[in-house]
Amino acid sequence: MRRATLLLSPLLVVSALAQDPVDLAPLKNWLSLQKSLKTLEADFIQSRSLRTLRKPITTSGKLWFTANGDLHWELGAPPKTVFLRNREGSFLIQPVKKRFQTLTVGADAPTGTQGFQMPEFPLAADLGEFTKRFEVLKVEPQPTHCDAEVLPRDAQAKKYLQVLRLRFDPKNGQLYSFEVVGKDGSSLKTEFSNVRINQKIDPSVFTFDPNGYRSDSEKQ
């Protein structure tokens, strides 16, 4: 009996460690619906949690996006920080301080947690592209939505990021929230509301006139 137990032990360990493969169907359905996304406008609440804080710091914001890559992401009311991307480039703007910074070509949205940048809208063209950029850890369908946990494959992001949590609707393609959790215990959660899809957006939303602003590249 003892010998039999010893022989079976490795098999029992392997069986315990084995996990059912993640069902990627809800994620695939959700991403497929992104193909019809032409414009996106939404309000959001961003909550930042730190180990040193008893309560999260919350900030309201707004988002505008077009399928051609234009993006306007602002925090605060009135906005204190604006990330703007258009055909001319990417800019980080501080309206209150009248300062701005021109970002490098191909720059993504502002960093949510050290080492990780906020994802694009949409996240990927299809499931194949998504799995190239992210390792899917968990997909949990719920009656009204679906929760997923992923991890960027980018080595730099992995140094600081523990997990990225997504909440979305695989039936209509809406992204309800995403949360970036850092290895230092910090987290940044963005929850969307009042989402408007494929409605006309005034082109002026994606323009920036630097007159009256000071560039961070200028000498002090």
pLDDT category, 216, cuts 50, 70, 90?
Answer: confident
Q: Is pLDDT at 92 greater than 60 in this prediction?
A: yes
Rounded to 10 degrees, what is the CA torsion of 50, 145, 129, 48?
-10
> Strands across the sheet with 39-49, in order?
134-141, 146-152, 161-168, 175-182, 187-197, 39-49, 57-66, 71-75, 81-86, 89-94, 99-102, 214-215
**Predicted local distance difference test score (pLDDT) of residue 219:** 43
**Predicted local distance difference test score (pLDDT) of residue 140:** 97
Two structure tokens written together for 185: 């215990």
Contact present, 17 and 138 (Cβ < 8 Å): no
**3-state DSSP assignment of residue 143:** coil
Phi and psi torsions of 132, nearest 5°? -75, -30
Residue closest to 48 by CA, chosen among 159, 182, 175, 194: 182
pLDDT category, 104, cuts 50, 70, 90?
Answer: confident
Tell me which CATH code domain 23-215 carries: 2.50.20.10
Contact present, 38 and 173 (Cβ < 8 Å): no
**SS3 labels along 8-50:** HHHHHHHHHHCCCCCCCHHHHHHHHHHHHCCEEEEEEEEEEEC
**Predicted local distance difference test score (pLDDT) of residue 114:** 47
Residue 65 host element (H or E) = strand 57-66
Q: Is pLDDT at 17 greater than 50 in this prediction?
A: no
Q: Is pLDDT at 15 greater than 70 in this prediction?
A: no
Average pLDDT along the chain: 84
Domain ranges of the chain: 23-215
Angle at 114 between CA 113 and CA 117, to 5 degrees: 65
Two structure tokens written together for 80: 């204190």
Q: With the C-alpha atoms ordered 33, 35, 36, 42, is the resulting torsion angle positive or negative?
A: positive
18-27, 112-121, 174-183: least confidently modelled range:
112-121
Tell the burial category of 95 from Cβ atoms under 10 Å away from its Cβ (0-12, 13-18, 19+): middle
Q: Is pLDDT at 4 greater than 50 in this prediction?
A: no
Q: Is pLDDT at 190 greater than 80 in this prediction?
A: yes
pLDDT category, 120, cuts 50, 70, 90?
Answer: low
**Predicted local distance difference test score (pLDDT) of residue 125:** 83
pLDDT digits (tens, 9 = 90+) for 37-73: 899 999 999 999 988 888 999 999 999 999 888 999 9
Q: Is pLDDT at 109 greater than 60 in this prediction?
A: no
Q: What is the pTM of this model?
A: 0.80
Two structure tokens written together for 44: 């959001």
Mean pLDDT of 101-113: 62
2-16, 90-104, 130-144: least confidently modelled range:
2-16
